[in-house]
Amino acid sequence: MDHVHAIKEFIIAEFIPDIQVTQLDDDYDLIAGGVIDSINLLRVITWLENRFDIPLDEVEIAEKNFASVTAICEFVDRAAPARQPAGIHTERFGT
């Protein structure tokens, strides 16, 4: 869950600019707390798609995946394509 800081920064910048990153608890219910409504949810989903290269047409979009920073991080971990550093190949030839 190394995406926590980036996700918190986005949520705060877009929806609750009056608080600091450290003030937003990872498990705070963003939907029940009124931070993310249906319109804001679309903004979050679009940002996640662009930021983490998530193929949205291939993943389940459910409200529970966006209820908290923790839930969003878990969604990103499941949905973002696996990335490998450049120059590393997992295929073995001639074996």
pLDDT at 86 (0 to 100): 40
pLDDT at 37: 94
pLDDT at 42 over 60: yes
Contact 35, 15 (CB under 8 A): yes
* CATH number listed for the domain at residues 4-79: 1.10.1200.10
Give SS3 for 43: helix
pTM of the model: 0.80
pLDDT band at 93 (very low <50, low <70, confident <90, very high): very low
For the chain, domain boundaries = 4-79
**Per-residue pLDDT band at 81 (split at 50, 70, 90):** confident
Q: For residue 5, how many C-alpha atoms fall within 13 Å in the half-sphere facing its CB?
A: 1
